[in-house]
Structure 1
Amino acid sequence: MEIHLKLYNDVIYRMETLAAYISRNVCGVKKVVIFFAAFFILLFSPGCLFTFNSNPRIDQNAFAENPPVKFAVLPFVNKTDNLESSEIARNAFFNAFASMNYQDLEISFIDETLGALSQETDKNPLDIPPEIVAKRLGADALVYGSVDEVSKFYAVLYAHQKVAVTIDIYDARKESVIFSDSIEAFNRTIAPADSILGLLTSIIQTIWHMRRIEKIETYERLGNKMVENIPNISFSQPGRPCYIKNFSIEMPSANLKTGDQIIVNVEAEPRMQASFDIGALHRGLPMTEERPGYYKGRYVIQRGDKARYTLIKMRVGKGKLQDERLGVKHPFIIDAVAPSPPAILSIRTTPKRLYIFLNNSEDLDFDHFVLYKSTNLANGFVEIGQSNEAKFEDDDFSAGEVIHYRATVVDELGNQSLFSPDFVFQVPPQSPIRVETERIARDTIFYAYSSPYIISKPLIINEGAALTIEPGAKLVFEKEGGIVVYGNLAANGEEDYPIIMEGKKDWGGIKFQRNNNAAANLSFVQFENAKTAIAVFGSSLNGNNITIKKCAMGIYVSPSAAINIEGSSFIKNETAIHCDSKQAAIHHCDFIKNSVLLNICGKSIPQEESTMENFSYN
C-alpha cells in the first residue's frame, strides 16, 4: 500500500510538473494534445489519494528539557471564503492532539475564557499578548493556527480538495515559538471508466468526492498530519498514572443520529472509578464495573444532541489520580438536531401544473425538502415528492379545488424538521375568463392556468391596489379594451413563459398614469396590434425583454415621465418610440421594419436612416 501511494504521488507530481512545462513551452494544438495524452494515462488508474506537503520547524531542546504540559488550542484564523473552515480545522487539530500525552484544555472552556478576556480588554482574543492569555487559561503553551487556503477542483473524472494550514506553538513560560509548521493537504480522486456505464459511475464518484463528507475526511487526515511532527513527551512522566490496559468503542457509524447508541468498553485496574466524555457535549458519563477490571458505559443519542468532529475520552482512576485515554482515532459527528422548518413562499400556475416555491434552507447539512398536500384535512396529508431544490411541481389538481400544502427539511443524517405553516391555495377557474369588472380595487392575480383573460373595456387599477400577471398568462383585448394603471402592475414573465397581450387592431394598450409609487417594471411581455402598446404619463417605467409588434405606436413617454428600456424588440410598428421626455434610456434594443424608429421631442428618425445596436438618450 505504501508503495502504491508513493507511486501515485510521484505520478501526480509529474503530471503537475508536465502541465507547468507545457504551459510555458508548448503552444496551440500541441499543448492540448500533449496534455490530454498525459491525462488519459491517469484516466484508467483508479484511486482516492491523500498527499501532504509539510515544513516543520522544531525547537527540540524546548521539548527535551522541561517541555510544556498543558496546552490551549486557540481559535484558528480564517483567511479563506469558506466560513466554517477555521472551526473544522481547529477541531481536527484538537481531536488529533488529544491522542498525545499532553494535557489539553477543553475548547468550550477556552472560548468562554477568551470571551470574558476580550470584554475586559476590548480586544480581539488573538491580539491579546500570549502571556496574558496563557496565565488566564492556566496553560503552559498556546496553539495558534490559520487556514490559509481552501480550494476545490472538478473535471468530470478527476476531483481534488486542497486545504492549507499554518500552526505555531508558543511556550508562554519561555516566551518563544517552539514549533511551527505549514501543511498542505490534497484529497484527490481519479475515477477510471472502461464503458459508458463505467463513465457514468465514475462521474458520480467524482461528484460525490466534492460533497461535505469528503471535506470532513480531508480535515480529519489533515488533523493527524498537523500533530505528526510535534514531539510527544514520555508517557511515564511522574504523577501520570497508567491504569487503562485496553479499550474499545462501539457505534453504528461515524455519523450518529437520534436513537443511535455509543458503548464504551475499558479494561483497567479493578475497583476504580470510571467515566467517559463525549467531547464537550456530555462529560462524566458513568461506567459500571461489570466484573473485576472490566468497565462498560452506554449512551443513547437524544433528540437535541449535536457535536461536530468530536471524540470519546475515557477516564479511570482514584481521586485526583486519573488515567485518561482518547477512544477513537478519527472524530465523529452527532447530529440529533432537526433543521429549521421551511416556509412555502408562493404558488404559480401554468395551464398544466402548479409550481410551489419554498425558501432556501440555511442549514449547513441540508439534504432535501419533502412536500405534502391535502385536499381533505379529514384524510390527512400525503407526501407528493422530495427535492434538493426549493421548487416542486404538482400536476394532480382541478379547477376550484382547495389544496393545503406543507413541507419539511431533511438533513444529511435523516433528521427531519417540523412542518412548515400550511399554505392554502385555491386553484383558479379554467379558461377562458371574461373580465367583467371595470376597476381593480384590491390585490388581484391573473393566473396562467385561467388564460386567456378577455378584456372588453378599460380595466382601471386603483391607487393602492395591485394586479399581478403570472408568467405564461395571456390577455386578449377587444377594441375598447386596455389597462389604466394608477396603482401597481406586476407583469414579469420569463423567457420560456412570456406574458402575451394581444387583441383586435388598435386596442387601448397599457397606460401608466401619474403615481407616487416606485417605478413600474415589465419583463418578457409581448404586445401586438395595440394603438399605443405602452403610454407613460408622469411615471417611470423599467422594461426589459419586451416585444412590441404591429402597433401604431410602441411606447409613448410624456414630458414628465421617465423610461429605461433594455434588450427589447420593436417589430413592424408605425412608430417604435415617441419620447417627449429628457429622461429616457434605450439600450441594446432591436428595431426591425418600423416606419419611424424614434420620434424625440417632435423630430422623427426614420428606420432606414438609422443604424445602431445600442442607443441612449438623456
Structure 2
Amino acid sequence: MSKKTKQLMPLLIIPAVIFLQSCLVSTPSTLITPEIRSLYGGEYKVGPYMKEHIPLSVAVLPFIDLSGSKEGATAMRLGFYNHFSSVPFKDMELYKVDDLLTKAGLTDPAVIHKTSPQKLGAILGVDAVILGEVSDFDKYFLVLYSQVAVGAEVKMYDTKTGTFLWSGKHKVRKHEGGISTNPVGLIATVIATALNVRDIQLLRANDDLFRDMVKTIPAPSLAQAKRPPTIALLTQDTKGQPKKAGDEIKVVIQGAPNMQASFDIGQYRKRIEMQEVEPGGYYGVYKVVPGDNIEKAIVTGYLTDDSGNTTQWVDAIGSVTLDTTAPEKPEHITCIGRNQIVGLRWDKSAAADLSGYIIYRSDSPLSGHIRIGKTEFNEFSDMDKNLVNAKMYYYRVTAVDFAGNESQMAQAQGMPVAPGPTPVSGVIETDTVWYSGASPYIIIADVVVKDKALLTIEPGTKIKSKNGGLIIEGRIAAQGDNDNIISFDALEDDKLWSGITFSGVKDRENKMMFVRVKGARTAINCQASSPLIENSEFAGNADVLKIAGAFSKPLIIKNAIYKNKGVAISVSDGASPRIVGNSIYDNSGAGLTAQSATPEIVQNTITRNRNNGIEVRGAQAIIRQNNLSDNSPYNMTSAMNGTSVKAQDNWWGSAKASDILAGISGRVDIRFVLDAPWPQGKPLAVPVLDKHLGGAIKTDSYLILSNSPYRITKDVVIDGGATLYIEAGVVLEFEQKSTFITQNGGIIARGTKERPITFTAASASPAPGFYASVVQFVAPTRVNSSFSYCIVKYAATAFDIYAGSPEISHSYIAHSSQSAIYCRKEATPVISFNTFATNAGEGAIVCFGRANPKIFQNNFIGNVWAIQSVSSIYIDARHNWWGASPPDPKVIWGENINIKPWLTKENPDAFKINH
C-alpha cells in the first residue's frame, strides 16, 4: 500500500463502491454486499427511418421530471449521457447544449419538449435530439436496508424531418443490504468520503437503467472498430461544500485499466492529470489557489486508450464550488457599554455566501486579540463576567463565508460603565464621553462645552434637563443610529428646558444624527454656527430650529419636525442654511420662515402647518422640489411688493394653476411646477403671460403677482374657450383705448379684501375715460367670468356687457367717464356688494334693450346717475343703498326699476377703499 493511501486510511468511515455493474460474492473483504433482489425490465423501439438515416451528431436535451423529485431530471439526464457518450455518436457536450438553448430563449424543459425537432436542430446544429421523461426517482433508506426506484422514457428524433428514430423505456428498483465497513485502497477512501449509502444506490440504479438501454440504439458502422474505453464511476469529495484556497479536491474514476485519465472542473480548469493507483482505479487532486472562483461546476472525467479513443463521464450527483474571495470587512462598528457588558453592532454584510461573524477582544489596541465568539447576526454582546467597568477593551470583527474565507478585521473599542442616573452641570474643558450605559444624564444647570473640548455622546444615551441647556462653544459628536436614538427631554413633563445652543462655533465640525429633542423652549439655536443636523426628530417643543447670523450655514437634512407649538425652522440675519429632505408637518406655527437670509430649501415635505407653510420676507431663498400642501392659510407667503420669490419646480398639492395660486400670498414666481409630488413629479410649465399684453389669448392663461404690474398695450381678445385667471394683488394698467374682449372666453379675477386686484390707467396723472373698458363681453359664451374684490378706476365704461351673466361683486368701481356698468341686449349680470362712486356720464348702471341684471347689496355714492333703464324689462334693484334714505329720485331713471325696499344706511359689507 502506498504511503499516500496509508495517510488517508484513518479518515475512512465507510468503504467505497467498486464497479457498479459488477456483482461480487459477500466476503469480509468485499466493498459492497450482494443484491438481495434486482428487478430489471425494459422495452425499446427502432423506427423504420432509423435504418437508412442513422444520425452522426446527437444532442441530449434537458429531461422532464414527472416523479416530483427536485433533482431527478438533472441526475437522470447526466446518467443517460454518461452511457450514451460511450456510443460512437458525435455527442454535443451538455453545457454547450444548455448554452445554445438559453441563447435561443429556451430554458423551461416543458417548452423545449414542445418545440419541434426541426427548430431544435437548427438551434443546436445536430442530426438528432434526445428527449427524456423521468417517471420515478424515489429513495428510501433504513439503517441497513435501502430501496431505490428510478424510471425513464427516452426518445430520439431526426432534426431534418422530425421523424421518430428510437425510444427506450425502463424502470429499475434496487433492494440493497448495508455496505461493508472494511475500507480498501485509495479509490475506496475517496468514494467512501464522497458518497453516502443513498448516493451509491442512486448511482447503481441510474447506471443499471441506462447501461443496456443505450446498447439498443443503432450506431454508425465504424462503432465497433472505434469503441472507446468504458467508465463505470466518477465521483469527487467536495459534498457540495465550497472550497477555499489551499483546500484539495479529490476525484476518482473507475473504468477500463491501463488508460490515460484526466478530469475537468467545468470550463474553468481543463484536463487535470490523474494517476492509475490500482487496476482500473484513477486518482487525481486539484489544489485550490487564490483567484479560483466558480460556482456549481460539473466535474467531467476522461479515459483515453492508445488509439486515441476517448470516453467522458460526468458527475451525476454533485458539483464543485470554488470560493477564494473573502467577504468585505464589517462596516460602521459601534460599541455601547453597559454594566460589565459591551454591546457591539455593525452593518449587515451583503455577501451572499456569508456564514457569520467572528469577534476578537484584547486589552491592548494592537495585539493580543483572542477569539471570544461567533454569531450569524450583526450584533454581539460581550458578557464576559471578568469585564471591568470603566476599563477600555479593544475589539476586532471579521466576516466569514461558507468556504471559510475570513475578511479583514474591523476595529472598535468599548468600555463597560456603571449604570446611571448621572448628574451633569458646569463647564467641560477636555474631551468627554457620555455613555449610554450611564444614562440618564441629568442636566442640573447649564452645561458649557468650551472652545477646545469635544463632547461625544454614545448611541442610545438619554439626557434629561431640570431647566438648564447644553451650550456648545467647542464641538459635539452626538451620533446615534436607527436602533439607538440619542434623546433629549425635560425632566418634568410640564416644564420646558432651554435646549441646545451652538454659540459662535462657525464651521467647526459638529454633528447631531439620530437625535430626538422634546420639551425645549428652542430645541436647537444656531448662532453663527454651522452644525450638521441629520435624521433627527423634533416634537413637543415650543420653537424648534433658530438659525441666525452670517456664519450660520448648517446642513439640516432628513429630519422629522412635527407637532411643535411654534415655528419649525426660522432663518434670519444673513444665515445661509441648506434645508434638504425634511418632513415638516402638523406644527402650530409656520413650517419655515426666512427673513433677511439666503436659505436653500430643497426636497422637503411641508404640510398641514397651521400658520403657513413657508413665509419669506426680504430673503433671497432657493425653493425647489418641495412638496407644499394643505398648510393654512397659505402654502407660501411673501411680500406684496419688491423682488419676487423664486419657487419653481415644487408640488403644491395640485397641478392646476388656479388651485396653486389660491394657496399663495404675495409675489411668488411659480412659472414651473411639478405635476405630482417630488420625486415622481415632472416639471410642468404654468401658462403665465408676459408683463405686456395685447392680441389674442386662446388657451387658459394666468396673470400672477410676481409679474405685476401688467401693461395692456392694445385690445386683448379672449377666444377659443379660454379663461384668463388673475391672481389676487395683481395690478393691470391700461393704455389709451385698450380693453379686454371676451369673444368666446372668460376672466376670473378674484382678489381678497387684503389683496384686491386693481384695474387702472397707465398714467401718472389719470383722468376718467383714459381707457375704453376693463372688459367688453361681446358674444354669448359658456365660459363664466367673475370679478370680486377688484378696484376699477378711470375707464370710459368699466364693464360693457353685451351678453352673458358675469358676476361682479365686492368691488370698488369709480371715476368712469361714461358709466360703470353698461348692460345691453340680453345681458344678465349679477351685481352685488359693490361700491359705485363718482361715475360720470350716464352714471353707475345703465340697462338697455332686454338686459335684465340682478342688483343688490350695493352702495351708490356720488354718481351722476345711480341707475338708468331704457327698457320695458322689469329690473330688480332691491336692497341697495342709494346714497340717501329715502333715495333721491333724481339719481334713478326708468319706470320698471324696483328699488323697494332699499337699505336705510350704507352697507358695511360692500367693498370700499380708504382714500
Q: What is the TM-score normalised by the length of structure 1?
A: 0.53
Is it true that 1:407 corresponds to 2:397 in the alignment?
yes
Q: The residue matched to 1:255 in structure 2 has which SS?
A: coil
Structure 1: distance between partners of 2:102 and 2:497: 77
8 A Cα contact 1:448 1:470, kept in partner: yes
* Match of residue 516 from structure 2: 525
1:253 partnered with 2:239: yes
8 Å CA contact retained: 1:491, 1:499? no
Decide which of 242, 258, 265 is 2:253's aligned counterpart.
Answer: 265
1:355 and 2:343 aligned:
yes
The 1:67/1:485 distance shift into structure 2, 3 A limit, reads: farther
Do residues 566 (structure 1) and 569 (structure 2) align? no
Match of 1:299 among 269, 278, 285: 285
Question: Could you tell me which residue of structure 2 aligns to residue 346 of structure 1?
Answer: 333
Distance 2:376 2:128 in 1: 48
Post-superposition offset of 1:448: 0.9
Structure-2 change in CA distance of 1:308 and 1:485 (3 Å)? same
Task: Kindly report which structure 2 residues correspond to 1:583-598, keeping only aligned pairs within 5 A, or say none.
Answer: 587-589=584-586, 597-598=588-589
Shift of 1:525: 1.4
Instruction: Tell which structure's C-alpha radius of gyration is larger.
Output: 2
Q: Verify the 8 A CA contact 2:253 2:301 in the aligned structure 1.
A: no
Cα contact 2:229–2:305 (8 A) shared by 1: no
Structure 1 partner of 2:435:
447
Return closer, same or farther for 1:409/1:399 CA change in 2, 3 Å cut-off.
Answer: same
State the shift of 1:407 in Å: 3.0
The alignment-based identity, stated in percent, is 16
Mapped partners of 2:284, 2:468: distance in 1: 80
Counterpart pick for 1:312 among 278, 285, 299 = 299
Output the CA distance in 1 between the equivalents of 2:355 and 2:447: 50
Inter-partner Cα distance in structure 2 for 1:72 and 1:389: 45
The aligned amino acid for 1:459 is: V
Alignment gaps of 5+ in structure 1 = 1-59, 74-87, 112-125, 127-140, 150-162, 188-223, 592-596, 607-612
Q: Which one of the candidate residues 461, 476, 494 is aligned to 1:473? A: 461
Map of 1:144 onto structure 2: 103
Q: Secondary structure at the match of 1:274?
A: strand
Task: Count matched residues.
Answer: 436
The one of 295, 312, 326 aligned to 2:313 = 326
Q: Aligned-pair distance for 1:349?
A: 1.1
- Residue 498 of structure 2 corresponds to which residue in structure 1? 508
Secondary structure in 1 matching 2:345: strand
Which residue of 1 is the match for residue 544 of structure 2? 555
Alpha carbons of structure 1 residues 544 and 177: separation in structure 2 relative to 1, 3 Å: farther
Partner secondary structure for residue 598 of structure 1: coil
Q: How far apart in 2 are the matches of 1:332 and 1:452?
A: 57
What does residue 605 of structure 2 align with? none
Cα deviations across residues 307-362 of structure 1 (Å, max 9, x unaligned)?
Answer: 43233323222356222232422342344636336235322315344332334334
Q: What one-letter code is carried by the residue in structure 2 that aligns with 1:577?
A: V
Q: 1:565 to 1:180 in 2, by over 3 A?
A: farther
What is the CA–CA distance in structure 1 between the aligned matches of 2:293 and 2:338, rounded to whole Å?
46
Q: Give yes or no for contact 1:459–1:483 (8 Å, CA) kept in 2.
A: yes
| Structure 1: distance between partners of 2:395 and 2:230 | 57
In the other structure, the counterpart of 1:241 is 227
**Pairing 1:286–2:273 present:** yes
Give me the whole-angstrom Cα distance separating, in 2, the residues matched to 1:315 and 1:71.
19
Deviations 1:487-518 (A, max 9, x none): 66545465775513436966531135685699
* Amino acid paired to 2:435: Y
What amino acid is the match of 2:516?
Answer: V
Q: Which residue does 1:420 correspond to in 2?
A: 408
Question: Counterparts in 2 of 1:173-188, with a 5 A limit?
Answer: none
2:304 partner letter: G
Contiguous gaps of at least 5 residues in structure 2: 1-47, 62-70, 138-205, 573-578, 596-608, 612-628, 637-915
Distance 2:390 2:288 in 1: 45
Give the match for residue 135 of structure 1.
none
In the alignment, the residues of structure 1 paired with residue 124 and residue 50 of structure 2 have an alpha-carbon distance, to the nearest angstrom, of: 9
Structure 1 residues 282 and 598, CA gap change in structure 2 (3 angstroms) = closer
Secondary structure at the aligned position of 2:437 is classed as coil
Which residue of 1 is the match for residue 374 of structure 2?
386
Per-residue deviation, 1:173: 9.8
Asked whether the 8 Å contact 2:59–2:129 carries over to 1, the reply is no
Letter in 2 for 1:286: E
Q: Secondary structure at the match of 1:546?
A: strand
Partner of 1:365: 353
Higher relative contact order at CA 8 Å, sep ≥6: structure 1 or structure 2?
Answer: 1
Classify 1:498/1:578 alpha carbon distance in 2 versus 1 (closer, same or farther; 3 Å): closer
Per the TM alignment, residue 447 of structure 1 is displaced from its structure 2 partner at its CA by 2.4
**Who is 1:274 aligned against?**
261
1:106-157 Cα distance to aligned partner (Å, 9 max, x none): 96x999xxxxxxxxxxxxxx9xxxxxxxxxxxxxx876354879xxxxxxxx
The alpha carbon displacement at 1:418 in A equals: 3.5
Give the structure with the larger helix fraction.
1
Distance 1:95 1:426 in 2: 56
State the partner residue of 1:546: 538
Q: Which residue of 1 aligns with 2:727?
A: none
Contact 2:300–2:312 (CA<8 Å) still a contact in 1? Answer: yes
The letter of the residue matching 1:384 is I
1:592-611 mapped onto 2 (5 Å cutoff): 597-598=588-589
**Partner amino acid, structure 2, of 1:391:** E
Read off the aligned partner of 2:522 and give its amino acid letter. Answer: T
The aligned residue for residue 617 of structure 2 is: none
TM-score, length-scaled by structure 2 = 0.38
2:567 is aligned with 1:577 = yes
- In 1, the alpha carbon distance for the partners of 2:323 and 2:389 equals 42
AA partner of residue 560 (structure 2)? E
Contact 2:458 2:486 in 1 (8 A): no
**Secondary structure of 1:449's aligned partner:** helix
Q: How far apart are residue 244 of structure 1 and its match?
A: 0.9
Please say if 1:459 is aligned against 2:448: yes
In structure 2, what is the equivalent of residue 482 of structure 1? Answer: 470
Structure 1 residues 429 and 94, CA, compared in 2 at 3 Å: closer, same or farther? same
Aligned pair in 2 of structure 1 residues 557, 148: CA closer, same or farther (>3 Å)? Answer: farther
The answer to whether the 8 A contact 1:171-1:177 is kept is yes
* Distance change in 2, residues 1:103/1:449 (3 Å): same
CA contact (8 A) 2:522 2:546 kept: no
